[in-house]
Structure 1
Amino acid sequence: MAGIDVSKYAHSPVHKAVILKDYAALRTVIAGLPRLCDPAEIHTESVSLAEEAKADAVSAVIDRRDVPNRDTPLHLAVKFGDDTATEMLMLAGADWSLQNEQGWSALQEAICNREERIAKIIVRHYQPLAWAKWCRRLPRLIGTMRRMRDFYMEISFHFESSVIPFISRIAPSDTYKIWKRDANLRADMTLSGFDGFRIQRSDQSILFLGDGSEDGKVPPGSLCMVSHKDKEAMNALDGAGAPATDAEVQQEVTAMSQTNIFRPGIDVTQAVLLPQTTWRRQEKTEMVGPWKAKVYDMHNVVASIKSRRVPGAMTDDELFNSSNENEAESEGLDDILTEEEKRAA
């Protein structure tokens, strides 16, 4: 970052202060920003809207990206290895997840640059910041859902490629079943995630209880994960607002530093919904439970994965080989593919 042209950042006081290490000026700018209230005090839509307006005003100052490389001030603090500026920005509510022109967040930049001290500062602060944002938006979310019509929807997806033949037969597919009633939402799925290069299957449901439970034991706005196989349910937001301990921060930073950085993405800017038609060129319909529903295809959705080397981390080949060894010791394809996919493979 030596020889940086300060004049290209002069229009952003926070960027300029970070570049010049002018902590007094940075402190002055932050002190003039609107003060957000305690997240626990946000219970109505009107308060939610007012707090969101204040949060937008804060972000417009400390999260600006109208500069070279679209770096936020936090990106610059990371690249300069500036612990003090990083701490000040995170305390002010900087959004660590915003991506620069190359598509990397400030935390990912810290991991790739082996700035462990700075990565710890970001990790220590981001959970309380995420919780505050959730609390700030929750009354608006619940209010909007109550005003929406109730619905049931199924979303099926599969992969196709013009380069890899028959990928649709071996790549995972799934159907998401989604119910909405009042301020509550339920989504059923079987594809739960990825562990390295291995697909994880689990018959599970995600429940958003905007109205809470009928017995009052589960508060409004709870997000629950239900594992049907294990017959277990957990509130995914339990302890979400508590700051991470030093041991938890160290563990998370260490885990991120052991493998290369991967950033999955989905581009829907060119996506289009096209109704399926019968041989008579009439719109195709199917029965979904007791309802007669139209069937649509969504085209031009592009999935991508971008990776970046982390110095000293496990290589992709080592990760792949390790994943294969673990898979060989497991139950084979039983946990990876559905019955239909196993028959096709």
Structure 2
Amino acid sequence: MVTAECIKTEYPLHWCVWYNDYKNLRDLLSRKEHDKEKKDNRGRTPLMLAVTLGHLESTRTLLNSEANVNCENLKGWTVVQEAVATGDPELLQMVLESRDFQRYTSRMAGIPELLQRLKEAPDFYVEMKWEFTSWVPLVSRMCPSDTYKVYKQGSSVRIDTTLLGFDHTSWQRGNRSYVFQGHNDGATMMEIDHDTQQVYCEQMRTTEDSLGMLLPNEESVSQRLTTPIVTTYVDTEKISFERNKAGMWGWRSDKTEMINGYECKVFGASNVELITKTRTEHLTETDKARSKNNKHPLQNFLGIAEVGESQATALLPNNEEFRNSSNPCNITPEEYFDCSVDLEAQGRDIGRPKEVNVKVQKFKANLWLCENYPLSLPEQILPIVDLMAISSSHFAKLKDFIQMQLPSGFPVKIEIPLFHVLNARITFGNIFAMDSEVAHVSKVQEEDRLTCVLDECLFKCPSGYSQIGNGIDGRRQFSMEEEDDLLQFAIQQSLIDAGTEKDEVDIWEALKAQKPSRPETPSFLGEEERQLQRAIQASLELYQHDVNNLEPQNNSPDTDSEFHKALLLSQQDQERKRQREEEERLEEQRLLEEILALSLTEK
């Protein structure tokens, strides 16, 4: 058994936190001789331990000493998520403020370094086309697509986009440019709105004054405390890459495809697992019931594997007793800090007993890699992805994926999962504006290479545009978590808007393209499940029309014409795809016959 003296010697900060001895904790931190980021044998830093135990004073002391808020425990839960689980609004407010400040300052501090890395790389122009695909009817057509135009000259970067967001009824389109300019003493960011001819300019600052618009309000804190804690991530540990094959009847060869004029090797990434974890122990029974009723319809239907995890709540007489208890399982510090005691096997832990729901779905990601692409992934593209990942959850997921040990070559095309039913397909094209002309972009053919030349006016405020103060002022800033929520909500709205009052269909019938076999929908289905079913049924009926009958039918008043047109276009795409596959099959068969004929010819 580990003794108290051993713990004090090995984990002095943790020991003070355990007993919420914030005065001694403050003294130890002031000496700066102890590592405030040291993890105990359970994988918790002093701050993570203080938050999990719900010790307000110790948490405040550590945050005042700038302890890292952006860390995770062994289970992948962040300090903010553990603060939500305590149900303490004051604790959560404090942690959120520090989290936002640390995140902002680290991002701002990192931008000049990213721009400096780019300064040393050759200039370039490239287009990144983002497409969203899904096997659920209607979803692919309703989800957005966009082409990012990326300009890089020295330590300046410009990124053009047309997709602005979602306003709860439709996707917002516009024409905006984001310009980052590196300086010796920092960096400047401009957001240029070409529609209104206005420019928001921001100097990259790391002072408290720049965070006034980022502080969490009471509404956001309350919203976190009354909704489940959800985290979604791709498990990269089991992923393996292998070459896709082409050919028939045993004559198999490594598959290659032409992507935007470049020959690419095609790889499949197997064992890609998208994991969604949901915690609800901080919710009241009313909140849990409301959360269940308001559950995203895609989450209800499309979690392929679902596992429930919980800790031994039976140790407690009722839920009220642990609302203010930091250690309901009565774990002693000697037990906690003794690595030979397997608390997990005993179903015991500090903090509120966890109620965790886990959903796992396996995907197969795809890669198209080119050996002689004009761009360098680590030197030119990764800094751009890092720059965009600061504020975009989709770029953050792309960054996580391409930072793995990929096969050699430039990923001209990447297909990765975003959510349970949604994939993102990213394709690089029009490199150096060679495929189609781009204003202010030219190229010079040298002896051994092609050089891209960009006009400096691309990175300046356009003449005639008005400049409107700081980039934060007057504009809604979305966190990456909110961006994910908006996209999922948009998918949900697309499905609901497409629904009709016709017969409903469940997900398994949808996969088989069958009409419902039962006379009515079971009473246990919620309203949002019914909306999803109606959407799927409506889309299936449209898909089952004759492929050759490509004109909209006048006898279907229940169907929105725009959805109908989208589905007809989809039918055309599917037909063209089938024709291409048939042509490839016939070509392979012809080649095989030639090979067989040659093998039978006497030499």
TM-score range with shorter-chain normalisation?
0.5 to 0.7
> Percent identity between the aligned chains?
13
Q: Secondary structure at the match of 1:307?
A: strand
Shift of 1:177: 4.2
Q: Give the equivalent residue in structure 2 for 1:253.
A: 221
C-alpha distance in structure 2 between counterparts of 1:205 and 1:93, whole Å: 40
Q: Structure 1 residue 135 and structure 2 residue 108: aligned? A: yes
Q: Secondary structure at the match of 1:27?
A: helix
Letter paired with 1:181: K
Q: Structure 1 residue 210 and structure 2 residue 180: aligned? A: yes
Contact kept? 2:188, 2:204, Cα under 8 Å: no
C-alpha distance in structure 2 between counterparts of 1:83 and 1:234, whole Å: 39
C-alpha distance in structure 2 between counterparts of 1:169 and 1:331, whole Å: 11
Shift of 1:80: 2.6
Q: Secondary structure at the match of 2:63?
A: helix
Structure number with bigger Rg:
2
Contact kept? 1:273, 1:297, Cα under 8 Å: yes
Letter paired with 1:21: N
Q: TM-score, normalised by structure 2?
A: 0.40
Q: Give the equivalent residue in structure 1 for 2:283.
A: 311
Q: Give the equivalent residue in structure 1 for 2:187.
A: 220
Q: Alpha-carbon deviations, 1:277-327, whole Å to 9, x = none? A: 776746322226xxx463654523332211111312342323448x79x94
Letter paired with 1:299: A
Q: Give the equivalent residue in structure 1 for 2:150.
A: 179
C-alpha distance in structure 1 between counterparts of 2:122 and 2:246, whole Å: 29
C-alpha RMSD of matched pairs (Å): 4.9
Larger RCO of the pair (alpha carbons < 8 Å, separation 6+): 2
- Structure 2: state its 5+ residue gaps: 248-252, 298-488, 500-559, 575-603
C-alpha distance in structure 2 between counterparts of 1:244 and 1:341, whole Å: 49
Contact kept? 1:174, 1:189, Cα under 8 Å: no
Alignment of 1:153-192 (within 5 A): 154=128, 166-167=135-136, 170=139, 177=148, 179-182=150-153, 183=155, 184=157, 186=159, 188=161
Letter paired with 2:150: W
Q: Give the equivalent residue in structure 2 for 1:46.
A: none
CA gap 1:220/1:139 in 2 versus in 1, 3 angstroms: closer
CA gap 1:203/1:232 in 2 versus in 1, 3 angstroms: farther
- Structure 1: state its 5+ residue gaps: 35-59, 161-165, 214-218
Q: TM-score, normalised by structure 1?
A: 0.64
Letter paired with 2:181: D
Q: Determine which of 251, 258, 264 is the counterpart of 2:232.
A: 264
Shift of 1:262: 0.8
Letter paired with 1:64: K
Contact kept? 2:100, 2:215, Cα under 8 Å: no
Letter paired with 2:24: A
CA gap 1:185/1:91 in 2 versus in 1, 3 angstroms: farther
CA gap 1:176/1:249 in 2 versus in 1, 3 angstroms: same
Q: Alpha-carbon deviations, 1:210-246, whole Å to 9, x = none? A: 3269xxxxx93427486x8999876799998534589
Q: Structure 1 residue 63 and structure 2 residue 34: aligned? A: no
Q: Secondary structure at the match of 1:285?
A: strand
Q: Secondary structure at the match of 1:210?
A: strand
Q: Determine which of 566, 570, 576 is the counterpart of 1:343.
A: 570
Contact kept? 2:178, 2:192, Cα under 8 Å: no
C-alpha distance in structure 1 between counterparts of 2:498 and 2:215, whole Å: 35
Q: Secondary structure at the match of 1:63?
A: coil
Q: Determine which of 67, 71, 76 is the counterpart of 1:98.
A: 71
Contact kept? 1:110, 1:118, Cα under 8 Å: yes
Q: Give the equivalent residue in structure 2 for 1:49.
A: none
C-alpha distance in structure 2 between counterparts of 1:341 and 1:88, whole Å: 62
Q: Structure 1 residue 299 and structure 2 residue 526: aligned? A: no
C-alpha distance in structure 2 between counterparts of 1:268 and 1:187, whole Å: 31
